[in-house]
Structure formats: structure tokens, C-alpha cells
């Protein structure tokens, strides 16, 4: 569908704004460098105010970076106005023309580009088919459901066959069920259209479901870029481990080391660990342990006391205390396991491959 899918490269990009209260300048985006390959679906993920939208708006040309260069398909684009860039944006608000029908909304950008009438008709029909709005050309956009409006917004961007499609939290105005349906649709359409996509969200499950790669940001700075498996199982730091899924942080010191393997001391207990080649004996370590990677058992690594035990239907939720450390454990197969009650003494069980060492 896309004329030519294009890669995006940000080379040491910074954006400085003035805080309206303190009147002080601050970095909304600080020294961000990243490469997005042609045809890739990349999500910018992070809490409110971390600079995701600012990055998207700089790629689109609605904002200019104070430092650095942006490349689209290998060409520098800092000096190009938005309409000269080979990008199209799908907005959170949809930004549809309310008194126009679907056809005219989708055809609008093509008319501005003086595309011949019969070609416009053909392109609009094809795109409406792709987004699942066949035969709805004459419906007025103010008579559509939220999900249908979102599809029109998507069609209107796609019909321009941009090198890169930009999404600014496009599903925020939809209810939870529709959001899940539409995100699957967006992924299908992006793959069928074979287009490069950059997608902004603060919803980690949306990012996991949609992306080839996720860029996690905090206060204008990229914390990690990686595929969903990598950012989940090998988070670069505690912020990423906490932002994507749930994590327990077991703090201690590295007591022994032999190559990549070693032993950490956590609350006075020896814990075998791997991937510690970069650390030295005596270093502080934090073990990232996902609640579902740990089990509660009669034997294990860390002795504990159960402080919360709750059956949730498809899983069992525990909180236990290991010394002063609170550990969350999720048992997704409770029917086949012993159930522990509050006050029981037990062990947190896990192997070296179940923890990620920071």
C-alpha cells in the first residue's frame, strides 16, 4: 500500500521548553537517538509528560528540535514543513471534518494534492475496505460510533500512502473492550499496508500487543529500546522493570562469583544468580523477580511468612515477607498447587534463570 516504507532516525535530538510556572527552561526531550527500520511498528511508551508526544510532533514537523537532526528515509527533514514531509498522523481526537461524509473526509488530503477524481475514488474505496468500512462512503462522520470514527481517521491517514504513519494515543477515547479490538485492527492494517508506524501510548499492554519494538521513556530520556520480550525479561533498570508488568526488587550484595555465575546474599540468604559477569564481589545487586516467575513452596530459596493469600479465580495472589522485604507471588495454576494461608511459614522458590540481575 505504502509508496515506499521509510525508516526514521533521530540523531541526538533535544527539545527545550519553558516551564510556564517557574519560567525555567527544561528538556522535554533530552539527547534522544534512535533508529526505526522501514516497516517496523515502534511504540513510544512512558508516563504522562515524559516527552513521547513531543518526539512524535517533531517527526511530523509540528515542533522543531533545539538540537539534533531527524532523518526520514535517510534524508534530513528538520527544515521541511509538515506538509512536505512524507508522514501522516492519526490523532487522539480523530480530528475529522464533522459536516462531511466518510468519503469526503478520507478524500480530503488527496484533493488538496490535486489527485485526479477517478484515482481518488479508487484509493478511497480500497482504503475503506482495508479498515472495514466498505460501502459506508455516504455516512456523515458525526453519526458514527467512536470505533468507526477511529477507522475513518486511520483511513484518512493511510490513503496518503505516507512513508511513516504517526499515532498519538489514538485509542484513548474508546472504552476498554473496543480499545482491545481496535489495537488488533491497527496491527493488522499496519501489516497489510506494509507501513512504518510510530505509536505513542502510556498503556503498556497496548505497547506490548502492537509493537515490534518499544521505546520506554522517562523525563525526556530513553530508558530502553527493545522488543517486548527483551524489555520484559531483561529490563535495563528498575524504572523499566516497574513500568512494564509488575516486579519484585530483591536487594543484596554479590557474595561470590565464578565467570557469569555467582551467589548473592538477600536478607541473609544465599541465592544463586547468573549473568553477573559485569559485576564484582561486594557490589550491591538488585534481583528483578516477576511475581509469576516465583513459586510458594515448602522448600525453596528464601524463607518467608505469608501475609496475604487471595484466590482470584484464574490465579492465586500471595504477598509474603522475606525479612523486611515484601514479595508478591502470582500462582497461575493454583488448582494443582498447595494453597498457603496468612501466617504460614514457607519458601519463595525460583532459579537463577528466573531473576534478572541489575
The contact set with ligand ATP (CB under 6 A) reads: 17-18, 28, 46, 48-54, 202
- Whole-number minimum distance, CB 57 to ligand ATP, in Å? 7
- Whole-number minimum distance, CB 55 to ligand ATP, in Å? 7
Of the candidates 352, 337, 264, 266, the residue with the CA atom closest to the CA atom of residue 296: 337
DSSP code per residue over 313-344? SSSEEEEEEETTEEEEEEES-GGGSPPP-TT-
- Whole-number minimum distance, CB 224 to ligand ATP, in Å? 16
Is the Cβ of residue 51 or residue 162 nearer to ligand ATP in the bound state? Answer: 51
- Whole-number minimum distance, CB 268 to ligand ATP, in Å? 41
DSSP code per residue over 289-308? E-GGG-EEESS-SEEEEEEE
The answer to whether 316 touches 273, Cβ cutoff 8 Å, is no
DSSP code per residue over 151-206? HHHHHHHHTT--SEEEEESTTTTS-HHHHHHHHHHHHHHHHHHT-EEEEEES-HHH
Q: How many CA atoms lie within 13 A of 155 on its CB side?
A: 30
Q: What is the C-alpha to C-alpha distance for residues 147 and 101, in angstroms, rounded to an integer?
A: 16
- Whole-number minimum distance, CB 70 to ligand ATP, in Å? 15
Is the Cβ of residue 20 or residue 74 nearer to ligand ATP in the bound state? Answer: 20
- Whole-number minimum distance, CB 18 to ligand ATP, in Å? 6
The contacts of residue 114 (CB under 8 Å, 6+ apart) are: none
Is the Cβ of residue 50 or residue 322 nearer to ligand ATP in the bound state? Answer: 50
88 alpha-carbon distance from chain centroid:
20
Is the Cβ of residue 47 or residue 135 nearer to ligand ATP in the bound state? Answer: 47
Is the Cβ of residue 30 or residue 156 nearer to ligand ATP in the bound state? Answer: 30
The answer to whether 182 touches 174, Cβ cutoff 8 Å, is yes
Is the Cβ of residue 92 or residue 317 nearer to ligand ATP in the bound state? Answer: 92
Q: What is the C-alpha to C-alpha distance for residues 179 and 137, in angstroms, rounded to an integer?
A: 24
- Whole-number minimum distance, CB 208 to ligand ATP, in Å? 17
The answer to whether 335 touches 316, Cβ cutoff 8 Å, is no
Q: Is 63 helix (H, G, I), strand (E, B) or coil?
A: coil
Of the candidates 286, 300, 282, the residue with the CA atom closest to the CA atom of residue 338: 300
- Whole-number minimum distance, CB 58 to ligand ATP, in Å? 9
- Whole-number minimum distance, CB 154 to ligand ATP, in Å? 20
- Whole-number minimum distance, CB 211 to ligand ATP, in Å? 16
Is the Cβ of residue 16 or residue 115 nearer to ligand ATP in the bound state? Answer: 16
Is the Cβ of residue 137 or residue 203 nearer to ligand ATP in the bound state? Answer: 203
Is the Cβ of residue 216 or residue 296 nearer to ligand ATP in the bound state? Answer: 216
Of the candidates 328, 318, 322, the residue with the CA atom closest to the CA atom of residue 247: 328
The answer to whether 290 touches 245, Cβ cutoff 8 Å, is yes
Amino acid at each position: 500500500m505504502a509508496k515506499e516504507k521509510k525508516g526514521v532516525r533521530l540523531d541526538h535530538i533535544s527539545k527545550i521548553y519553558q516551564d510556564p510556572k517557574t519560567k525555567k527552561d527544561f528538556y522535554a526531550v533530552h539527547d534522544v537517538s534512535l533508529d526505526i527500520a522501514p516497516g517496523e511498528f515502534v511504540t513510544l511508551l512512558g508516563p504522562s509528560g515524559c516527552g513521547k508526544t513531543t518526539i512524535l510532533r517533531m517527526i511530523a514537523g509540528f515542533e522543531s528540535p533545539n538540537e539534533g537532526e531527524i532523518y526520514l528515509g535517510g534524508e534530513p527533514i528538520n527544515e521541511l514543513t509538515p506538509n512536505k514531509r512524507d508522514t501522516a498522523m492519526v490523532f487522539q481526537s480523530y480530528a475529522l471534518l464533522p459536516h462531511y461524509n466518510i468519503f469526503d473526509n478520507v478524500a480530503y488530503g488527496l484533493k488538496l494534492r490535486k489527485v485526479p477524481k477517478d484515482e481518488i475514488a479508487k484509493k478511497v474505496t480500497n482504503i475503506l475496505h482495508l479498515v472495514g468500512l466498505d460501502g459506508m462512503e455516504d455516512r456523515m462522520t458525526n453519526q458514527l460510533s467512536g470505533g468507526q470514527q477511529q477507522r475513518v481517521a486511520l483511513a484518512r491517514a493511510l490513503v496518503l500512502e505516507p512513508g511513516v504513519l504517526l499515532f498519538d494515543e489514538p485509542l484513548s477515547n474508546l472504552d476498554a473492550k473496543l480499545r482491545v479490538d481496535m489495537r488488533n485492527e491497527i496491527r493488522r492494517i499496519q501489516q497489510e499496508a506494509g507501513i512504518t508506524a510510530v505509536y505513542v501510548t502510556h498503556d503498556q499492554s497496548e505497547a506490548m500487543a502492537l509493537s515490534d519494538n518499544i521505546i520506554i521513556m522517562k523525563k525526556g530520556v530513553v530508558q530502553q529500546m527493545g522488543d517486548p520480550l527483551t524489555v520484559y525479561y531483561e529490563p535495563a533498570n528498575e524504572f523499566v522493570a516497574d513500568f512494564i508488568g509488575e516486579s519484585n526488587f530483591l536487594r543484596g550484595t554479590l557474595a561470590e562469583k565464578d565467570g557469569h555465575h555467582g551467589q548473592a546474599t538477600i536478607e541473609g540468604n544465599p541465592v544463586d544468580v547468573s549473568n553477573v559477569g559485569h559485576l564484582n564481589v561486594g557490589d550491591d545487586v538488585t534481583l528483578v523477580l516477576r511475581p509469576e516467575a516465583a513459586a510458594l513452596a515448602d522448600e525453596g530459596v528464601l524463607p518467608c511468612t505469608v501475609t496475604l493469600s487471595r484466590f482470584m479465580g484464574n490465579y492465586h495472589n500471595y504477598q509474603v515477607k522475606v525479612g523486611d522485604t515484601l514479595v508478591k507471588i502470582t500462582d497461575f495454576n493454583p488448582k494443582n498447587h498447595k494453597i498457603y494461608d496468612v501466617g504460614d511459614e514457607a519458601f519463595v522458590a525460583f532459579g537463577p534463570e528466573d531473576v534478572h540481575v541489575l
